[in-house]
Amino acid sequence: MSHETVVKSNEHYTPSYVFEALDTSFDLDVACPIDMQHITVPTTRYFNKYHDGLRTGWIGFVWMNPPFGNQKNKYEWIYKFVRHGNGVALMPDRTSAPWWQYFANNVDAILFVKGKIKFVQPNGEIAKSPTTGTTLFAIGSKGIKALENAEKNGLGKMYRSK
């Protein structure tokens, strides 16, 4: 894969240390890339763009790191996550954005990640530091427990939102 392809890629994979801090496993990754070479999500079920995680039913405890680009698309992922009601979602820290406010008001717990996550690029290299931080949102008892684990393991500070 050329450097130009990597720079233009919209895919950024969550590094393994995030999952180590969460200390849990998931039933489904709802927005997985097609090339899974550098994927570390602790699950055996994945939806990629061919499964269309927005249109396919979710089951169990889900991990969601959706595409961040399109605002309308972002809302669709958030609404589906909230309706599903069982999982952990990773989103940028944009606390003043209406979508962030909606999300924060409709989940059980929030974890503000300490520092900025350096995501893994499709070629396996670690990306430069992003411009914003990251928030983890959780719904359900297993999600709350995962964020408690992450806080205990030094990933950030957790707040209950309900």
pLDDT tens, position by position, 42-98: 998 999 888 888 999 999 999 999 987 666 788 999 999 999 999 999 999 999 999
Question: CA-CA distances (angstroms) from residue 113 to 49, 51, 75?
Answer: 27, 30, 21
Instruction: Check residue 127 and give its pLDDT.
Output: 72
User: CA-CA distance, 25 to 141, in Å (whole number)?
Assistant: 14
Taking the C-alpha atoms of residue 14 and residue 155, their distance in angstroms, rounded to an integer, is 13
Per the CB < 8 A criterion, the answer to whether 48 and 32 are in contact is: yes
pLDDT of residue 69: 67
Largest Cα–Cα distance of the chain, in whole Å?
46
pLDDT of residue 38: 64
Task: Quote the pLDDT of residue 73.
Answer: 83
DSSP sequence for 16-40: HHHHHHHT---SEETT--S--TT--
Does the predicted TM-score (pTM) go above 0.75? yes
